[in-house]
Structures are given as C-alpha cells and as structure tokens.
Amino acid sequence: MGLSRDEILAMLRSGAAEFVDLKLVDLPGTWHHITLPASEFRPEAFTEGIPFDGSSLRGFREIEESDMIMLPDPATAFRDPFNEHPTISVTCDVFDPAMQRFSRDPRRVAQAAEAHLKATGIGDAAYFGPELEFFVFDEVRYLVNPEESFFAIGSDESHWGAGDVGAPNLQHRIRSKSGYAPTPPTDQHQDLRSAMVLALKSCGLEVERHHHEVATAGQGEIGIRYDRLTASADHVMLYKYVVKNVARRSGRIATFMPKPLFGDNGSGMHTHQSISKGGTPLFYDRKGYGSLSETALHYIAGILSHAPALVGLTNATTNSYRRLVPGYEAPVNLVFAKGNRSAAIRVPITSQSPKAVRIEFRTPDATGNPYLSFAAMLMAGIDGVRRRLDPTVNGFGPVDKNIYHLTPEEAAGIQAVPGSLGEALEALEGDHEFLLEDGVFTEDLIRSWIDYKRREELHPINMRPTPMEFHMYLDI
C-alpha cells in the first residue's frame, strides 16, 4: 500500500490509470470519494490540494463555511480492484482554504496523537493491530415506518434455515456459538474469504490468516499485519471497503454491525497495542507479569481508568451495547489478565519475543472511527504512563480466572463498561481532558461528536418502539 507522487503521475501519463479516486473520512468514520479523470489531476494537487464541499460531510462544516481543501497522501495509494476503469485510490488530509489543518479531520487527530507520543519522550512509535470481525449474509431485509418495523436475515449457514423449502437445502448448518473454524462444507465462505484476502493483498495490505468465527450465519475474520497508528487506521478503512465490495460481487452483504443476531456471538475489533523507542520495544520485561514492563502496566491502567469514556468513541453505536453484555466472551469487565478472553484487556502469551509482547484491548468494535478510536486509546495509555498508574492497586487485576465463573465475593469491585451509548457519551463528556493534551483532540471535536451521536443516532432509536416491546407489553 502506497505509491510515490512520481509513480502516481507516471501511471496517469502512461494510461496505466485513467482515474484518481480521492477518499475522505467523515467524523463518524465513513469514506466518501470524488473521482478525477487522469487529464484533470495535476502535480499541484499534492501541494495545493483540491477543493470540496465540507458542509456535505457529517460532522464537518456548516453551509456558510463549506469551502475546504483535500490534500492527497501518496502513502495511502492503491489500485482499486473494484472499478471497471483503471483507478488509483488515494486518501486525503483535510485543510481549510488558508491551508491550515482542519481540527475535525479524523486523520489529523491520529497523526497528532503519534506526534504527541514523540513529544512526551515516552516513545517514538505506537503500533496497532486491529482484529476486525464481520458477518456475511445472503440476504437482509428491514423496514422502519411509523406503523411497522422489522428485520430479517437470510443465510445458507444459519441454523434457523434448516427447515427452508424451495431451493435445495444442503444443510451443514452451524449451530449457535459453534462456528469457530469448521472445515467446508460447514464453512461455506472459505473461497469468499480467500477472495477477500487476495483483494486486500492486491491493494497492498499484508494478510496473515483468515477463518470462520464463532457465530452462525457467516461470521468471519481476516487477520492483517499491525502497523503504526495512522497507517493501521487507514488499513481499517480499506479492510472494510474490500470486504463489503467482495461480498457484494458474490451476491451477498457484509456487515460490521457488532450484534446483528440475538443470542450468538457479536463482532468486535480487538486491538493489539505496543509502543517502542529507537526500535526498542517498551512493553517487554522478561521478569514481569506476562512479560510486561512497568511501562506496559502503566499503559494498561490508563486505558482501564478511562475506559468508560473511551467506549464513547470505540463502541460508537447503540448496537455496540447489544454486544457488550455478560456472556458470549463479551469483554465488559475492566480488568487485565494473561490469555483471558473474559477481560477487557488480554495479555497474549503466544510468544516471548520482545517485539511480540503487547496488550489487547478487546472491548472496541468496528463501528467507531478508527482514527479517533486508536488516537483515544493511545492518549489514555500515555496518560497512564505519565501518571505512573498501577493497575494492580487500582482494582484492575490481574484476574487469571473466567470472570463469569467468579463467586459474588470474588467479583465484587470489578468495574464494567457503560451499558448503553447514552451512558458512554455521558462518561466521555465528563472525562476527556486527557484527550485534549497537545491539541490532539479539541473541545470542539468532542462536543461535535457527542452532539451528533445524541441527535442523529441515540434519540431516533430511543423514540421508536421495537417488535420486542410489542411482544412484551402489548397485552399489559
């Protein structure tokens, strides 16, 4: 992934690429794009930028101040495999007309977080390795009207389709919570995930593995290589783009909704993290718990201390909190432990190599804006390091038992993440000073994020009755 300016311009001159597709990420975390024919993309675009309407992107500008500039970043360039005509895709940074960085540009926040790490002297590189889970369904139907609402999911893998008639029903169905890594024919998406892998590799991403995940109805995961913070956020955007487009080409739909199915495992984005300085890993200490250094423990304490506020960014939808409930390996408990998937922070113990020692924050999902999510995690970790917080004395563990099997006495004092988006936004509203250090986040951005989520997502959902409410309350 990534080309030089000269390589891009040479491809446009030679006809190897006929279009340049310029991508922008809005505040909630969705890609938008504007496409230029090769004849209209000039070298000055890399220094002077290209104008666009900022009032049409969510969370950016009002209509009276809509003129903005996008500046292509060649490091993000890839040949788009989903366009009929040869196209180079490039992600852009956002500036105002005076060529000052736009404070609400999510990529600016990620880049500023990396710069802040260097400025503290703690480290000079933050590495993030997200594990994105997703579902691939054969059909999704839904309706939201004042007088009726429903959703219906169809999947050839689902256990609820075992009695379907019509087309040949070849069975090999996956029972609820029984989908982890079966072989074909039970795993019906082997070739589809392989096609996704090949598309990701053609775009320049390093892919390590893929497999079916625990839930029925086509839950999968494709493992990509970790990278520095901003680059990893770029990779998340590309990952979602590729997975959705390959699924659509196959006549299916991919979704990163955390909890589309009741009673089965949801989809998260477990996020592995470490920092280094001068090429030396800072999280490693052979004698420490889980081979963790004091710096790593301070970092863990920072994340767990600020976790109620963090999830307002990392678990950014009402559906996120359908997943964050006890059970189903849901990482709701604010503790850390070695190899323990019931803890919010797991310390992987698969390798003792200093470079492999890391922490895994298991609570996030892919509905958050990855630039904001990763930046917020790093800022929380830095705050823990600077304040020398100790997770072992702050009630955060370690807990080397299945938390869901603890006695009430053993579980007493273990904190949990907020139970709803509303509670998470309240926590973020009350605890975000750590995000404002060095101007990484701004008060304006935090306020815009909270207001948008409450106005456009939380309130509309809270005001609507659901089919389950009719089931429970119609005859009261």
Task: Give dist(CA 365, CA 358) in Å, integer.
Answer: 19
Res 329: pLDDT: 67
Task: Give dist(CA 180, CA 15) in Å, integer.
Answer: 45
What is the residue-wise DSSP string for 58-123? TTS--GGG-EEEEEE-GGG-EE-TT-SS-EEEEEEEEE-TTSPBPTT-HHHHHHHHHHHHHHHTS-
Query: What CA–CA distances, in Å, run from 315 to 14, 69, 330, 366, 369?
Result: 45, 30, 13, 8, 9
Task: Give dist(CA 274, CA 24) in Å, integer.
Answer: 27
Please tell me what DSSP assigns to residue 158: B
For residues 183-215, one letter each, b for 16 or more C-beta atoms within 10 angstroms of the residue's C-beta and e for the rest, the string is: eeebbbbbebbebbbebbeebebebeebebbbb
| Ramachandran region, residue 166 (left: φ > 0; alpha: ψ -120 to 50; beta: rest) | left
H-type helices in 324-391, by residue range? 370-386
For the structural domain made of 5-101, what CATH number should be given?
3.10.20.70
Res 176: pLDDT: 85
Res 207: pLDDT: 97
Task: Give dist(CA 369, CA 441) in Å, integer.
Answer: 13
Res 308: pLDDT: 98
Paired residues of 131 in beta bridges: 270
Q: Is this structure's pTM higher than 0.85?
A: yes
The residue type of 391 is: P
**Which fold, 125-473?**
Creatine Kinase; Chain A, domain 2 (3.30.590)
| Residue 112 contacts residue 438 (beta carbons within 8 Å) | yes
The alpha carbon torsion through 191, 196, 197, 202 (nearest 10 deg) reads 130
Cα radius of gyration (the chain): 23
For residues 421-442, one letter each, b for 16 or more C-beta atoms within 10 angstroms of the residue's C-beta and e for the rest, the string is: bbebbbbbeebbebbebeebbb
Query: What CA–CA distances, in Å, run from 5 to 49, 421, 449?
Result: 13, 42, 34
Residues in the chain: 476
Please tell me what DSSP assigns to residue 356: G
Task: Give dist(CA 320, CA 66) in Å, integer.
Answer: 32
User: Where along the chain do its domains lie?
Assistant: 5-101, 125-473
| Residue 417 contacts residue 325 (beta carbons within 8 Å) | no
**Per-residue tens of pLDDT for the chain, all 476 residues:** 789 999 999 999 999 999 999 999 999 999 999 999 999 999 999 999 999 999 899 999 776 677 899 999 999 999 999 999 999 999 999 999 999 999 999 999 999 999 999 999 999 999 999 999 999 999 999 999 999 999 999 998 998 887 775 666 666 888 888 889 899 999 999 999 999 999 999 999 999 999 999 999 999 999 999 999 999 999 999 999 999 999 999 999 999 999 999 999 999 999 999 999 999 999 999 999 999 999 999 999 999 999 999 999 999 999 999 999 875 568 999 999 987 777 899 999 876 789 999 999 999 999 999 999 999 999 999 999 999 999 998 889 898 887 877 888 777 788 999 999 999 999 999 999 999 999 999 999 999 999 999 999 999 999 999 999 999 999 99
Catalytic annotation, residues: 53, 131, 133, 213, 221, 270, 341, 360, 362
